[in-house]
Amino acid sequence: MRSFSTFLAKITASPIGIRVVPFVVFILLTALQGTSGQRRFWIYGAKTLVGAWMIWVARPHIPEMRWRLSLEAIVVGIGIFVLWVGLDPFYPKFTSLEKPWNPFAQFGQGSGFAWAFVAVRLVGSAVIVPPLEEVFYRSFLYRYLASPDFEKAPLHKLNWIPFLVCAAIFGFGHYQWLAGIVCGLAYQGLVIRKGRLGDAMTAHAVTNALLGVWVVWRGVWQFW
């Protein structure tokens, strides 16, 4: 317990560590989910709880990690949702989607477990993912690519190479890579325009929430 406390203290004391480690842990837990069986659902639930705890720990140490509600953020979030769904049939994917994330196929139609996992997935994608990803990509990576002394790099300054590279890395981390790249450009552009990370977090949350509702309503599980 003492060694974990020491490790946690070192992470929270490091401007890089506190922005990078939670994201890496979340990615590693995602990799552990696998692509089939019940394990992916249970690990996703555990990952969501761990993600919530990491946000709680990180928030006092990352001043820019504050939700901001603005009309621009809502519009961008809705626009990216429409684009994400609308673009999907019109470009090739680099990998095949082995098995969509469908709890009803795993647990049965109308299953309480299935609806519970749907709720967890909605919370995870709309509340947990946005701050973790936006802090990593927009607060850390974009500014670090502009200057190793990234804390002194302003959020509102446009740097073209970090702008494009960060969006590309964000995009290729998704199965829908083209929509992901445009998404990364839009969220980063919002941060630059507003000078606040919280607007991108809100836009990201709006996109993911609408996408989650769309997935469940239309049964298009490939988006999850």
Name residues whose C-beta falls within 8 Å of residue 110's C-beta, 6 or more positions apart in sequence: 104
pLDDT in the model for residue 106:
84
Q: Using pLDDT thresholds of 50, 70 and 90, give the confidence band for residue 69.
A: very high
**Has residue 84 got a pLDDT over 70?**
yes
pLDDT in the model for residue 41:
87
Residue 126 is assigned to a structural domain of this protein: yes
Domain that holds residue 75: 66-223
Residue 25 is assigned to a structural domain of this protein: no
Task: Report pLDDT digits (tens) over 142-158.
Answer: 999 999 999 999 999 99
**Has residue 183 got a pLDDT over 80?**
yes
Residue 209 is assigned to a structural domain of this protein: yes
Name residues whose C-beta falls within 8 Å of residue 176's C-beta, 6 or more positions apart in sequence: 84, 87, 88, 93, 223
Q: What percent of the chain has pLDDT over 90?
A: 79
Task: Please report which helix (H) or strand (E) contains residue 183, including its range.
Answer: helix 177-194
Q: Using pLDDT thresholds of 50, 70 and 90, give the confidence band for residue 4.
A: confident
| Residue 160 CB neighbour total at 10 angstroms | 8
pLDDT in the model for residue 1:
67
The encoded tokens of residue 15 equal: 């401007």
If you search the block for the tokens 């969509």, which residue do you land on?
100
Residues in the chain: 224
d(CA 108, CA 217) in angstroms, rounded, equals: 16
Residue 154 is assigned to a structural domain of this protein: yes
How many domains does one find in the chain? 1
The encoded tokens of residue 174 equal: 């998704």
Residue 194 is assigned to a structural domain of this protein: yes
Residue 60 is assigned to a structural domain of this protein: no
Residue 101 is assigned to a structural domain of this protein: yes
Q: Using pLDDT thresholds of 50, 70 and 90, give the confidence band for residue 108.
A: confident
Residue 42 is assigned to a structural domain of this protein: no
**Has residue 36 got a pLDDT over 70?**
no
- State mean pLDDT over 100-127: 91
pLDDT in the model for residue 97:
66
